[in-house]
Amino acid sequence: MEVNEDSGDQNPEPEEATASSNITADEIDQETAKKLRGDAIGDTMYSEVFVLNTLLQFSDLQWSSEVEDNLCFLWDMTEEIDVSRYLFQVSYPSLACSALVKYNEPRFIEIIIQHQSVKYDLFPLSPLSRHRLSIVKRKVLVLDLDETLIHSHHDGVVRQTVRPGTPPDFVLKVVIDRHPVRFFVHKRPHVDFFLDIVSQWYELVVFTASMEIYGAAVADKLDAGRGILQRRFYRQHCTPDLGSYTKDLGAICNDLSSVFILDNSPGAYRAYPDNAIPIKSWFSDPTDVALLNLLPVLDALRFTADVRSVLSRNLHLHRLCVFAEILDFGYPQNTDTGVLKTFITQQGIKSATKEEQAQITSQVTGQIGWRREGIKYRRNELFLDVLEYVNLLMSPQGQVLSAHVAGKVVMKSYLSGMPECKFGINDKIVMDAKGKGGLGSTSDSDQTRSGGKPVVVIDDCQFHQCVKLSKFETEHSISFIPPDGEFELMRYRTTKDISLPFRVIPLVREVGRTKMEVKVVLKSNFKPSLLGQKIEVKIPTPLNTSGVQLICLKGKAKYKASENAIVWKIKRMAGMKETQLSAEIELLETDTKKKWTRPPISMNFEVPFAPSGFKVRYLKVFEPKLNYSDHDVIKWVRYIGRSGLYETRC
C-alpha cells in the first residue's frame, strides 16, 4: 500500500469567525448588562459566558453556606473574574445562577439557550486560574475525523454529499488492495484555528473508525507539521458492535476522569456516554461554526477535576431540576441551599409510594419549604453566634461624629425531626409604637422602661423566612423552625447607646519642617474580666517620611513605608487598661507649600461581647413528634464584636 498527496486546483483558507470579541474584565458593567437584555445584542462572548456558567455552576456539587451570600450581580465581581476563564468560578458557585435569576426576561433566557458564534480570543490567565490548573490533571481530548473535523468523498461515489463545484482542501491518493483511490477532502470551517487553540489546552488524540492508510494521511494533513496529533488510533483499535464501531477510551487513558471524546456518531461512545461531547455531522456547509461554539466549553472543561462532572447526562437533569426550584414563572422562589441540596442525588430515582407522594405534596404546598422531613442526629445541638461590627468616626477631641453597629445572628442547627425553636432577646429592644410592627426610634419618654433601665433601639432588622414575625412583635421572641445546618437567622442595625470597646487618643506635634512627634494613647472600655484580641492600630505618616523611631509600652510597632503608616499590633488587652505608643518621625524637605492632610487613625480588633448590648435571654427547642425535650439539646451561644470602619481623626 502507498499514499500519494497532491493539492486540488484551489485551496481555500478556512473562513474567519463571523464575530470578533476583545473583551476585558473592566468592560463588564451595567451598560453591558443593558445590552444583553435588549434586542440588539453586543459582543456575543457575554452570551457564551452566561451559557456555560449557567450549565457548569453545579458541576462539582460543592455546596456551602456561602452560596446565598454569593447570589450577587455578576458584574460586581469584575475584579475577581477573568472573562474567558469562567470555570474557576467554582470559588463563587452561584454567580451564574444569580445572573439567570437577575435577568429572567424571556428574551434573555432565549439568548442564554442559543449558542453564539465568536472568534475566540485568548486572555492571560489570572492567578486564580493558574492555581486551579496546577491542582488538576492535564486532560486528553479524543478527536474523530470524518464528519467531525473533515468530510471526504472519492471517485466512485454515485451521490456526492458536497455541493457541485466545491473545491476540496486537499486530495489524497490512497492505494487500497492494489487499487488507487482518490479522496477529495474538505476541512470543516475553522478546523485549523480550532486545533491550534485546543492543542494549547489538551493532549490531542485522533481516534477514527477509518482504515489506517487513509486516517494517517488525513491526520498528517491536519497536523501540518505542528506535532499536535502525535497519538492516533484507527479501525483496528475499535470494537465492532451492532453494525458500527465503538471506541474504547480506556485504551487511551486509564483515568476516565481526564479523557473525553468529540464525535458526531453516538454509537462510537456508546460505552462512555459521560465522557463525550456530541457534535453535528458536517458535510459541506461553509457557514458552519460548530467548532467555534465548542471553544468556550473546552476552555472551561480543562479546569474541572473530573470531566464527567460536567458531561454526565444525569447532571443535566439535576441542573434543570435545581433551576426549576429556584425560579417560578421567572421569579426567584427558593434560594435556600439546604432545600436545593435535596434535588442533587447520586442514585437513581425510584417510583414514589403514596406516602412519599403525600410528603412531597406537603413540602411543596406547606409553609416549611426550607427544611425536609426525616432528619435525624445522634446528638441534638444548636450553635448560636451573635456577630457585631462596630463602625465609628471620632474627632481628635473624643467627640463621636458617627457610630453604628451592624450585627447578625448566625445559627448552626443539628436537630432531629421538625423542631420549633424559640429565641428570646434582651428586654432592651423596643418596638416603635408608631411603626405598625416596624423597628425604629422612639420618643425620649419611651427610652426607659418602668425599671428606669435604658433601652437600645434597633433601627432596622431583617429575618430569615423561617421566622414567625407575629410572635416577635408581641412577645419580643423569635419563633421558627430552623433549616438544617448553618444559616443566618437575622440581621440588624443600631445607632444608639453603643458601648465603644476602644478609644484612641492621638496627639500630634510638628517640630519644624523635618520632624514630627506623635503620641497615641489606647484605652479599653469594657469589663476587666474580658480580653480584646487581634488589636491593630494604623497611624498614617506623611509621604515624605524618611525614618521613624518607635517606643510602645505593649505589643509591637513597625513603620511600613509601602503603606505610609505605622502599624501597632497587640495580641491581647484586658478591659479597663491603657497603653501608649510614641513615635518620632523624620521628614524630607520638600518645595511644596501644601500642608499635609492627616488621614484618620484606623483600628481593628475583636472582643468577646456585643457592643450594642444585644443579649440572648433564652433558647428553647420543642419537638412534638420525636418527644425529645429542651433539656436534651446541647446549646452554645457566643458573642463576638469586631471592628468595621473604626477611625479617629488626628
Is residue 257 assigned to a domain?
A: yes
In a domain, 53, yes or no: no
Amino acid in the structure at residue 258: S
The answer, as to whether pTM is greater than 0.85, is: no
State residue 477's pLDDT score: 75
Same domain as 153, residue 271: yes
Residue 56 pLDDT: 40
Which amino acid makes up residue 646? Y
Q: Which of 58-62, 132-136, 151-155, 638-642 has the lowest mean pLDDT?
A: 58-62
110-124, 332-346, 397-411, 420-434: the lowest-pLDDT one = 110-124
In a 3-state reduction of DSSP, which class is residue 309?
A: helix
Indicate which residues carry an active-site annotation.
144, 146
Q: Report the range of poorest mean pLDDT among 17-31, 256-270, 316-330, 508-522.
A: 17-31
Q: Which residue among 231, 257, 291 closes a domain?
A: 291
Which position has the higher pLDDT, 223 or 162?
Answer: 223
Give the mean model confidence (pLDDT) for residues 508-524: 92
Region 545-573 average pLDDT: 94
Query: Does 561 share its domain with 644?
Result: no
Q: Where residue 72 falls among pLDDT bands split at 50, 70, 90?
A: very low
Q: Which range (31-45, 221-235, 321-335) has the least confidence? A: 31-45
Cell numbers for 625, please give them. Answer: 413528634
pLDDT for 586 beyond 90: yes
Contact by Cβ (8 Å): 145, 219:
yes
Answer whether 601's CB lies under 8 Å from 520's CB. Answer: yes
Residue 14 to residue 220: CA distance in whole angstroms: 17
Helices (H) and strands (E) in the chain, counts: 13, 30
> How many CA atoms lie less than 13 Å away from 384 in the CB half-sphere?
22
Same domain, 564 and 476: no
- Intra-chain end-to-end CA distance of the chain, in Å: 90
Tell me phi and psi for residue 241, to 5 degrees: -155, 115
Residue type, 141: L
Of 259-273, 353-367, 635-649, the one with minimum mean pLDDT is 353-367
Residue 488, pLDDT score: 92
Residues forming beta bridges with residue 583, ordered by sequence position: 518, 550
Q: Which residue has the cell 469594657?
A: 526
- Residue 536 pLDDT exceeds 70: yes
Cβ neighbours of residue 152 under 8 Å, at least 6 residues apart? Answer: 146, 172, 183, 184, 185, 186, 218
190 and 219, same domain (yes or no): yes
Q: What is the pLDDT of residue 491?
A: 92
* Shared-domain flag, residues 419 and 481: yes
> Which residues, at least 6 apart from 122, have a Cβ–Cβ distance to it below 8 Å?
84, 197, 200
Residue entry with cell 413540602: 363
Classify residue 20: in a domain, yes or no.
no
Assign 568 a pLDDT band (cuts: 50, 70, 90): very high
CA 579 to chain centroid, in Å, comes to 43
| pLDDT for the residue numbered 304 | 87
Whether residue 21 lies inside any domain: the answer is no
pLDDT at 429: 56
Indicate the pLDDT class of residue 638, thresholds 50, 70 and 90.
Answer: very high
- Whether residue 573 sits in one domain with residue 544: yes
Looking at the fold, whether 559 and 618 belong to one and the same domain comes out as: no
Q: What's residue 407's pLDDT?
A: 94
Last residue of a domain, one of 291, 326, 355: 291
Count CB neighbours of 585 within 10 A.
24
Supply the CATH number for residue 628's domain.
2.60.40.1170
Last residue of a domain, one of 266, 291, 316: 291
The per-residue pLDDT for range 154-212, each reduced to its tens digit, is: 776 645 677 777 788 898 888 877 788 888 899 999 999 999 999 999 999 999 988 88
Q: Based on the structure, what is the number of domains in the chain?
A: 3
**Distance set, CA 219 to CA 3, 143, 145, 211, 358 (Å):** 13, 10, 8, 12, 59
Tell whether 452 and 575 lie within a shared domain.
no
Here the cell at position 476 is 419580643
Q: Is the pLDDT of residue 539 over 90?
A: yes
Q: Is residue 546 part of a domain?
A: yes
Instruction: Say which CATH number the domain at 283 has.
Output: 3.40.50.1000
Could you tell me if 637 and 519 lie in one domain? no
Mean pLDDT across 295-306: 87
Looking at the fold, whether 429 and 398 belong to one and the same domain comes out as yes
Whether the per-residue pLDDT at 8 is higher than 90: the answer is no
- What pLDDT, on the 0 to 100 scale, is given for residue 124? 78
Say yes or no: 393 and 485 in one domain.
yes
What local confidence, expressed as pLDDT, does residue 153 receive? Answer: 82
Dihedral sign for Cα 36, 42, 47, 50, please.
negative
The set of long-range contacts for 104-109, using a CB threshold of 8 Å and a minimum separation of 24, is 104/327, 104/330, 104/331, 105/37, 105/330, 106/330, 107/37, 107/39, 108/36, 108/37
Most confident of 159-163, 439-443, 580-584: 580-584
Residue 69: per-residue pLDDT: 37
Indicate if the pLDDT at residue 233 is higher than 90. yes
Is 576 domain-assigned? Answer: yes
Same-domain check for residues 154 and 271: yes
- What's the domain range around 449? 381-499+611-648
Average pLDDT of the chain, as a whole number: 74
pLDDT at 460: 85
SS3 content of the chain, % helix, strand, coil (to 5): 25, 35, 45
The pLDDT, as a whole number, for residue 647 is 96
Residue 298: inside a domain: no
Please name the residue that has the C-alpha cell 457585631.
388
pLDDT at 271 over 90: no
With a cut of 60, say whether residue 60 has pLDDT above it: no
Mean pLDDT score, 26-51: 34
Q: Does residue 235 fall inside a structural domain?
A: yes
* pLDDT confidence tier of residue 145, bands split at 50, 70 and 90: very high
Q: Tens of pLDDT along 105-138?
A: 333 333 333 333 445 667 778 888 888 888 889 9
Enumerate residues 6+ apart whose C-beta is below 8 A from 585.
515, 516, 517, 518, 541, 542, 545, 547, 548
Query: Which cell goes with 39?
Result: 434586542
The CA-CA-CA angle for residues 236, 242, 248, to 5°, reads: 40
Return the C-alpha cell found at 606.
475583636
Phi, psi of 222 (to 5 degrees): -70, -35
